[in-house]
Amino acid sequence: MSFLNDTNPAGHTLPKFHEIAPNEVQLLLQNMNTNKASGIDGISAKILKIAAPCISSSLTPIFNQSILTGVFPDDWKTSKVIPIYKSEAKDEMRNYRPISIISTVARIFEKLIYNQIYDYFNNHDLLANSQYGFQPFQSTVIALLDITNKWYQNIHIGKLNGVVSLDLK
């Protein structure tokens, strides 16, 4: 069953979200990292992991209703923001980065949606070969090796390489 079958103004078909099954929810709950911090609701990943067989059938209709209506519950949008020290002087705010911790249930729902969108992008060949972030078996090291190889090829055939580096700190 598809919940969404629409087209955008350019006429391209949008992804079709399928109904989530209880076994999908249970699998994600059972494979959760229990070392992650709890969100503002205080419900730990460890408790949800232990209770997965019992609660997956209760969470599934909530997730499916959210997909069907396009409404993400307000309580799942609330997060704890914790400053994480990066480097240099500890008394300067610019040396900290914020980490936003949402509820564990919201993380499970986000993962379910992510899986569907990622499958759609892969099935429709929408990810560029140069997409290294958030890809399995890809990393910044591979990106650097790829670009270095392209620079070497350009030098080998007599072309110049122009490079602009940005530090987004």
Per residue in 140-151, pLDDT tens? 899 999 999 999
> Residues 143, 149, 152, 154: is their CA dihedral positive or negative?
negative
| 37 or 15, greater pLDDT | 37
Task: Convert the pLDDT of each residue in 51-110 to its tens digit.
Answer: 999 999 999 999 999 999 999 999 999 999 999 999 999 999 989 999 999 999 999 999
Indicate the pTM of the whole model.
0.76
The residues, ordered by sequence, that sit 6+ positions from 53 with a Cβ below 8 Å of its Cβ are 26
d(CA 39, CA 50): 17
> What's residue 12's pLDDT?
59
Res 9 pLDDT > 70: no
> What's residue 68's pLDDT?
93
Q: Please state the rounded mean pLDDT for residues 121-143.
A: 85
Residues 25/9, Cβ–Cβ less than 8 Å: no
Q: What angle do CA 79, 83, 89 make, to 5 degrees?
A: 170
Among the listed residues 77, 64, 76, 66, the one whose alpha carbon sits nearest the alpha carbon of residue 105: 76
